[in-house]
């Protein structure tokens, strides 16, 4: 069940990110998924809060939003 919950959080987060950056891509690196390039400054405070509640974190090094899956 945890995998299904993570999948829902990933898809919801991707929808938020791509609402502001329709050319953002999703890629996997080790145990993380990244969605970018970054659009952190374009997101509303509500969207930022939603991403954080879903488990997404901003990664300066990748210039993208990251989601730790624990799988890899």
pLDDT single digits (tens) 52-71: 999 999 999 999 999 999 86
pLDDT single digits (tens) 16-38: 999 988 899 999 988 999 999 87
**Range 3-15 average pLDDT:** 93
CA distance 32 to 39: 18
Strand, coil or helix: what is 60?
coil
CB-CB contact of 62 with 34 (8 Å): yes
Question: What's the pTM value of the predicted model, to 2 decimals?
Answer: 0.88
Q: For residue 2, is pLDDT > 90?
A: no
């Amino acid at each position: 069940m945890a995998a299904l919950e993570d999948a829902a959080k990933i898809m919801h987060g991707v929808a938020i990110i791509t609402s502001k950056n329709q050319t953002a891509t999703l890629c996997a690196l080790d145990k993380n998924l990244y969605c970018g390039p970054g659009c952190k400054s374009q997101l509303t405070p509500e969207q930022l809060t939603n991403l954080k509640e879903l488990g997404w974190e901003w990664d300066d090094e990748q210039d993208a939003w990251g989601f730790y899956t624990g799988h890899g």
